[in-house]
Chain A
């Protein structure tokens, strides 16, 4: 390979040692490092940080984006006080918490279970794994949209199958329109979509456990139950944490799937915080108020992301 390059590159060769301090094209390592990193940082500053600062500024005003000509004024921390004392926001937070908690619980149980089974390396396991992985690669919006078709009362495939298995009339219940069922509908679709995510990460955790540990446990006559609790679970735990944190963050700010599946309905029963934010910002045009809500959301997510990166680095060392 190196000799190939020699033939292509027939220019005079500078003395060794000066190669990294020459003229243009031979900039110092330091200059190259900054030249390479700066464009990314500039882009992120322009598209993420500048808007973020603008949001912070607006969150202290009563600006309305659809009435830009109206003079807006500073309202101090009124928006924040308003949000934190708003019962609707706390309802939305509870809805979000319900969604995050149950979807992650089901995803962990199913995902970890599947990972344990797949780790037994039966014949054809990689084919089935690929099939199982498909839902998580799809667009959440498109997923939310086509599940509304499956949830149609009477004609929907989901209602039909549930009706057939459970012996009830498939037209007798509505997954999306029903007050009791709607919060579980978003949990169900999220679980369908993201179980593979938890499964894949758990599988990596299981595969990172050296066989020798199990063999040593066997010598010590540890039962299968004991092996699971003392070896498998603790060793997979950091990976599981990684998956749970990431899903927690993603589901906390979930917008696209819920927006298309239930659009927050019926009423505002499945209105997660992101949907509240969208309604306030782009339907009621309370830009100042929604900026404050956006900042609150961002701070929450940022805190969680901090923990996530710590776990990420911990797993990386394995």
Chain B
């Protein structure tokens, strides 16, 4: 579909050809050519019907997410009300409970305390508890960020180098190596976790940031190599050849012409890696317990007094999901590539 083959005219002004390297969606000119009667262009009536069905499905599919979002702003009582309350008095109790731990105190002791100052304090007092300190949530969020960004950086760095080599050079056993790299992605996580657990125990890397970063890098690097190879394949070789003719070494040509051209692809790849690391659960739950625990294994264990504190769980889930929603919207043009390892480009 995307014809990024060599074009003869590129010499000292290589930027002129960049538009040709960009794949163009088929729909763009299909709409332009549409006539009143066409098999290609749907009729207004059928468009209206399709639109209604798709919109209905979209609303249905988004309902669980909206419900979690709404629940995060409910009081614990409202969150488990029957019938379920769609509209309720907005409350930030879930968020307060997510970030604090509270303890029940004797009324005599409560009476001696100075008046509550912050919003969370006031809510706690109404429930006859006092805030005893911050919860583990900020630490877990921080772990998610450190491990996510650390592994993303490493995976994209290694992936870019390998992808460039696979894209430009005649590497021996190229297809076998590429398959080997991809096949590691298909390993069942639990199957990998057993020996990795033993290995990390030997070298003292269980429940460490470094251990998790290396593990996630290994999983992500396969995606990074395949995705980035697709992106780099699309950059005409003439850019580098021109640079080589101008007297640059291969490395200089790579750094100064290929990297800037691949910037969008590298960014998209990085977001995919970040989302994977952010979402990963199986390794995290089996190989971490405290120091390096990330959010996914932590969220289910946000428990309040007397059972699951649903507003707090919903608050944690909401905070956890919001970055992904933003990235999905940003990434939507590249999603297809990401989920097919760069094979389908639209």
Q: Could you tell me which A residues sit within 8 Å of B by CB distance? A: 1-3, 5-6, 9, 13-14, 16, 19-20, 22, 25-27, 29-30, 32-37, 39-41, 43-44, 46-52, 54-55, 58, 65, 110, 114, 117-118, 120-126, 128-142, 145-147, 149-150, 152, 154-158, 160, 170, 192, 195-197, 200-201, 204, 207-208, 211, 214-215, 217-218, 227, 239, 242, 246, 249, 253, 255-256, 259-260, 274, 277-278, 281-282, 287, 290-291, 294-295, 297-298, 301-302, 304-306, 308-309, 312-313, 315-316, 318
- Contact yes or no, A211 B190, CB < 8 A: no
Is there a chain A Cβ closer than 8 Å to B286's Cβ?
yes
Contact with A along B124-159 (1 / 0, CB 8 A): 000000000000000000000000000000000011
- Contact yes or no, A117 B343, CB < 8 A: no
- Asked if A138 meets B324 with Cβ closer than 8 Å, knowing A36-B161, A147-B64, the reply is yes
Q: How far is the CB of A218 from chain B (nearest CB, A)?
A: 5
- Contact yes or no, A123 B247, CB < 8 A: no
- Contact yes or no, A120 B47, CB < 8 A: yes
Is there a chain A Cβ closer than 8 Å to B192's Cβ?
yes
- Contact yes or no, A20 B250, CB < 8 A: yes
CB-nearest residue of chain B relative to A207?
A: B26
Query: How many angstroms from the CA of A126 to the CA of B328 in the assembled complex?
Result: 13
Query: How many angstroms from the CA of A27 to the CA of B308 in the assembled complex?
Result: 61
A239, A294, A312: the one contacting B191 at CB < 8 Å is: A294
Inside 8 A of A118's CB, which chain B residues have their CB? 50, 54
- Asked if A315 meets B61 with Cβ closer than 8 Å, knowing A130-B332, A137-B275, the reply is no
**18 A–B contacts, CB within 8 A, in A order:** A29-B169, A36-B165, A40-B161, A41-B181, A46-B218, A117-B53, A121-B41, A122-B48, A149-B308, A150-B67, A155-B80, A239-B344, A259-B281, A260-B281, A281-B190, A295-B191, A301-B188, A318-B1
- Asked if A294 meets B190 with Cβ closer than 8 Å, knowing A19-B247, A32-B250, the reply is yes
B186, B243, B325, B340: the one contacting A242 at CB < 8 Å is: B340
Inside 8 A of A207's CB, which chain B residues have their CB? 25-27, 346
Q: How far is the CB of B123 from chain A (nearest CB, A)?
A: 21
- Asked if A40 meets B159 with Cβ closer than 8 Å, knowing A134-B325, A146-B313, A309-B179, the reply is yes
Inside 8 A of A208's CB, which chain B residues have their CB? 1, 26
Query: How many angstroms from the CA of A8 to the CA of B282 in the assembled complex?
Result: 48
- Contact yes or no, A140 B195, CB < 8 A: no
- Contact yes or no, A6 B246, CB < 8 A: yes
Q: How far is the CB of B329 from chain A (nearest CB, A)?
A: 6
- Contact yes or no, A32 B191, CB < 8 A: no
Q: How far is the CB of A205 from chain B (nearest CB, A)?
A: 8
Q: Which of B91-99, B113-121, B292-300 contacts A (4 or more CB under 8 A)?
A: B292-300
- Asked if A139 meets B31 with Cβ closer than 8 Å, knowing A37-B162, A134-B62, the reply is no
Query: How many angstroms from the CA of A127 to the CA of B215 in the assembled complex?
Result: 36
- Contact yes or no, B183 A139, CB < 8 A: no
Please give me the 5 A-B residue pairs with the lowest Cβ-Cβ distance, nearest first: A13-B247, A141-B281, A51-B195, A294-B191, A139-B279
- Asked if A138 meets B329 with Cβ closer than 8 Å, knowing A2-B246, A297-B191, the reply is no
Is there a chain A Cβ closer than 8 Å to B46's Cβ?
yes
Inside 8 A of B30's CB, which chain A residues have their CB? 211
- Contact yes or no, A123 B188, CB < 8 A: no
Contact with A along B167-181 (1 / 0, CB 8 A): 011010000010111
Query: How many angstroms from the CA of A128 to the CA of B244 in the assembled complex?
Result: 47
Most chain B Cβ neighbours within 10 Å, of A3, A33, A34, A298: A33
- Contact yes or no, A2 B179, CB < 8 A: no
CB-nearest residue of chain A relative to B318?
A: A146
Inside 8 A of B181's CB, which chain A residues have their CB? 40-41, 44
- Contact yes or no, B40 A130, CB < 8 A: no
Query: How many angstroms from the CA of A131 to the CA of B187 in the assembled complex?
Result: 30
Q: How far is the CB of B294 from chain A (nearest CB, A)?
A: 10
Within 8 A of A (CB), among B37-53: 38-42, 46-48, 50-51, 53
- Contact yes or no, A32 B194, CB < 8 A: no
- Contact yes or no, B169 A33, CB < 8 A: yes
Query: How many angstroms from the CA of A200 to the CA of B344 in the assembled complex?
Result: 10
- Contact yes or no, A122 B339, CB < 8 A: no
Inside 8 A of A192's CB, which chain B residues have their CB? 61, 64
Query: How many angstroms from the CA of A232 to the CA of B47 in the assembled complex?
Result: 18
Is there a chain A Cβ closer than 8 Å to B19's Cβ?
no
Inside 8 A of B197's CB, which chain A residues have their CB? 65, 282
A52, A55, A146, A200: the one contacting B339 at CB < 8 Å is: A200
- Contact yes or no, A277 B344, CB < 8 A: no
B84, B164, B248: the one contacting A5 at CB < 8 Å is: B248
- Contact yes or no, A1 B14, CB < 8 A: yes
Is there a chain A Cβ closer than 8 Å to B110's Cβ?
no
Q: How far is the CB of A68 from chain B (nearest CB, A)?
A: 8
- Contact yes or no, A140 B279, CB < 8 A: yes
- Asked if A121 meets B42 with Cβ closer than 8 Å, knowing A29-B250, A140-B281, A142-B321, the reply is yes
- Contact yes or no, B194 A281, CB < 8 A: yes
- Contact yes or no, B336 A204, CB < 8 A: yes
